[in-house]
Amino acid sequence: MAKNSFAYLDKAIKLLNQVQQNEKESIQQGSSIMAKTIQNGNSIFVFGASHAGILTEEAYFRAGGLVVFNPIFAKGLLLDNSPITITSQMERLEGYGKIIIDKTPIKPGDCLIVHSVSGRNAATIEVAMAAKVKGAYVIAITNLAYSKSVTSRYSKGVKLYEVVDLVIDNHGDIGDAAIDIGETGITMGATSTVVGAAILNTLATETIMIMHEAGVKVLPVFYSANLDGGEAKNKLVVETYKNQIHYEFD
């Protein structure tokens, strides 16, 4: 067995512990805002470009997930492009982020969660800025050390953490890859997805705990359709929150 066997798991666990210790107040604040957003009849949206968009899929239409997590999937910013380098080019395209939000039914009182590890590319920064102009509360999941170590690729010179209402730091390594492979100079094993998904699910579960303690009877959580009775329960949940859902659901 290699000397550094399971180094990635050790690193992921270490980062999760750092998030738990250092981001507790931010996560509590975000969860409180999200609970208030839902109880006021508003919606929550989730956005990320390229691999950061994996968190959008993590949140969307998932057993045990929030029904009111509305995904923002933008053409050209997903990982289904060929050649794949189009995705990187689209991330840096100025003006596109505003177009995305102009076509998204975000309104005052809504909440947007934006995931970007470096927080330096134009599309994501513009999405956050345009959502704020529309009156949404914007939460960023990002890597502050990484973001502060690079220059902005946006002509206004700002980065994501500088334009949002609340920042939750994933505490990852600069460059995201976390494991050195001996003396090769190779570093691999990105941690942002693992830690970001943990942050997102913590936000969701804490939000529901707040709503439960407030006495909300029908909580906006999907039951597994693979459990007996799950689909019937989901119909009630969807009917209750139908005005806060902005994706198709039959």
Q: pLDDT (tens digit, 9 = 90+) per residue, 152-162?
A: 999 999 999 99
Per the structure, the count of domains in the chain is 1
How much is the pLDDT for 1?
46
Give residue for tokens 């507790």: 24
| C-alpha of 18 from chain center | 18
How much is the pLDDT for 207?
98
Top pLDDT among 3 and 21 is at 21
How much is the pLDDT for 182?
86
How much is the pLDDT for 194?
97
- Region class of 69: left (phi > 0), else alpha (psi between -120 and 50), else beta: beta
Residue 1 lies in a domain: no
Residue 139 lies in a domain: yes
Rounded to the nearest integer, the mean pLDDT of the chain is: 95
What DSSP designation does 113 have? E
Strands 44-48 and 177-180: unpaired
Residue 228 lies in a domain: yes
Residue 21 lies in a domain: yes
Average pLDDT over residues 178-199: 94
Which range of residues forms the domain containing residue 180?
Answer: 7-244
Average pLDDT over residues 133-145: 98
State phi, psi for 23 to the nearest 5 degrees: -110, 10
Cis check for the bond before 83: say yes or no (omega within 30 of 0): yes
Average pLDDT over residues 137-157: 97
- Other CB atoms within 10 Å distance of the CB of residue 247: 10
Q: Any idea what the CATH number is for the domain that residue 234 is in? A: 3.40.50.10490
Residue 117 lies in a domain: yes
Average pLDDT over residues 164-173: 97
Q: What percent of the chain has pLDDT over 90?
A: 90
Rounded to two decimals, the pTM is: 0.95
Confidence of residue 5 (pLDDT cuts 50, 70, 90): confident
What is the helix (H) or strand (E) element at residue 166, kind and residue range?
strand 166-169
Token pair for residue 82?
Answer: 């060929």
How much is the pLDDT for 211?
98
Residue 249 lies in a domain: no
Question: Is residue 249 pLDDT above 80, yes or no?
Answer: no
**DSSP output for 39-78:** HTT--EEEEE-GGGGHHHHHHTT-TTSBTTEEEE--TTSS
How much is the pLDDT for 3?
62
Residue 2 lies in a domain: no
Question: Is residue 117 pLDDT above 80, yes or no?
Answer: yes
**Residue among 248, 233, 206, 237 nearest 33 (CA):** 206
State phi, psi for 71 to the nearest 5 degrees: -80, 145
Q: What percent of the chain has pLDDT over 70?
A: 98
Residue 235 lies in a domain: yes
- CA distances (Å), origin 218, targets 21, 37, 153, 233: 32, 15, 44, 10
**Residue among 194, 192, 197, 167 nearest 55 (CA):** 197
- Region class of 64: left (phi > 0), else alpha (psi between -120 and 50), else beta: left
Confidence of residue 4 (pLDDT cuts 50, 70, 90): low
Encode pLDDT of 78-108 as tens digits: 888 899 999 999 999 999 999 999 999 999 9
